[in-house]
């Protein structure tokens, strides 16, 4: 038994888990830095798409369609090369080039632009699904537009959109894997894919290194799912269990 255990320790699995812990933080950083900006932006886009003004609605529709209809990989290349093109003429004279050209800035920037389009589509769908009867009740009670939004539209929208939004957050976390395929790596600022690739080039043990990297993604995805599930329970605590739309960790096609 102890032989088995020492063999396991020597197999490199534990070593890889330790080595890849810090790179995993970079993936977590990219996702965590994107959500606080992506979510409000998505809410704004969803409200714009629902707007009665034709122009405002069309702008939001075009934006959402363009960013959902093209690969994030291309969006990264495009925005990074755009930032580069503006570097000498704008960022350097303004003295902000070391901030705005940094991968830790551009990464979340592009992820925010991308994820807000997907999340906006989800929130828009939820916005349309807010029960009409509740809106009519709010009107009958003499609520103004802001009061209606605050107490009827918003809580319903968040509750209805939550399972799909969780799915989007997991997709966003997975999307952080391609950040450093498109942006320069500075010193030891490497994410899971970089580090797994580097370890692979040392001893060509593809099964070990990529499995451990995959395991990190899998475990963190499950943690996100678990936390989001708890929040979902809280959001739907006033409903009878059969009325809750349940969440499940399965390949969801809603992206």
Q: Is residue 129 close enough to count as binding other proteins by CB under 8 A?
A: no
Which 91-110 positions form the footprint of other proteins (CB under 8 A)?
Answer: none
Angle at 98 between CA 101 and CA 90, to 5 degrees: 70
Q: Is residue 223 close enough to count as binding other proteins by CB under 8 A?
A: no
Nearer of residues 69 and 142 to other proteins, judged by Cβ? 69
Which 56-75 positions form the footprint of other proteins (CB under 8 A)?
Answer: 65-66, 68-75
**Residue with the two structure tokens 């906006």:** 120
- Decide: helix, strand or coil at residue 96: coil
Query: For residue 137, what are its two tokens?
Result: 């009740």
Q: Is residue 128 close enough to count as binding other proteins by CB under 8 A?
A: no
Q: Pick one of 100, 104, 178, 247: the residue that binds other proteins (CB under 8 A).
A: 178
Nearer of residues 143 and 215 to other proteins, judged by Cβ? 215
Q: Is residue 226 close enough to count as binding other proteins by CB under 8 A?
A: no
The radius of gyration computed from the CA coordinates of the chain, to the nearest angstrom, equals 22
Q: Is residue 10 close enough to count as binding other proteins by CB under 8 A?
A: no
- The nearest distance, CB 246 to other proteins, in angstroms, is 14
Q: Is residue 151 close enough to count as binding other proteins by CB under 8 A?
A: no
Q: Is residue 8 close enough to count as binding other proteins by CB under 8 A?
A: no
Q: How far apart are CA 154 and CA 148, in angstroms?
A: 9
Count the helix, strand and coil residues of the chain and give each as a percent rounded to the nearest 5.
80, 0, 20
Q: Which of 132, 122, 116, 133 is nearest to 160 (CA)?
A: 122
Q: Pick one of 130, 217, 228, 232: the residue that binds other proteins (CB under 8 A).
A: 217
Q: Is residue 245 close enough to count as binding other proteins by CB under 8 A?
A: no
- The nearest distance, CB 172 to other proteins, in angstroms, is 11
Q: Which of 148, 127, 129 is nearest to 137 (CA)?
A: 148
- Dihedral over Cα of 27, 30, 33, 36: its sign: negative
């Amino acid at each position: 038994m102890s032989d088995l255990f020492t063999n396991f320790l020597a197999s490199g699995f534990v070593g890889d888990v330790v080595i890849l812990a810090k790179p995993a933080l970079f993936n977590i950083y990219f996702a965590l830095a994107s959500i606080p900006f992506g979510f409000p932006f998505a809410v704004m886009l969803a409200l714009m798409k629902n707007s009665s003004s034709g122009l405002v609605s069309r702008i939001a529709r075009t934006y959402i369609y363009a960013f959902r209809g093209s690969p994030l990989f291309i969006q990264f290349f495009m925005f990074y090369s755009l930032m580069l093109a503006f570097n000498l003429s704008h960022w350097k004279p303004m003295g902000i080039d070391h901030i705005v050209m940094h991968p830790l800035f551009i990464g979340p920037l592009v992820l925010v632009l991308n994820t807000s389009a997907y999340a906006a589509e989800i929130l828009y769908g939820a916005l349309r699904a807010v029960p009409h009867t509740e809106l009519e009740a709010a009107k009958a009670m003499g609520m103004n537009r802001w009061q209606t939004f605050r107490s009827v539209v918003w809580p319903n929208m968040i509750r209805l959109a939550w399972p799909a939004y969780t799915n989007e957050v997991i997709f966003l976390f997975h999307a952080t894997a391609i950040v450093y395929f498109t942006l320069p790596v500075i010193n030891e600022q490497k994410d899971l894919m970089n580090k797994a690739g580097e370890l692979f080039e040392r001893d060509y043990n593809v099964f070990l290194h990529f499995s451990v990297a995959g395991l990190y993604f899998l475990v963190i995805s499950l943690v996100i799912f678990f936390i989001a599930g708890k929040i979902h329970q809280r959001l739907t605590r006033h409903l009878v269990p059969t009325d809750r739309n349940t969440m499940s960790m399965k390949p969801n096609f809603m992206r």
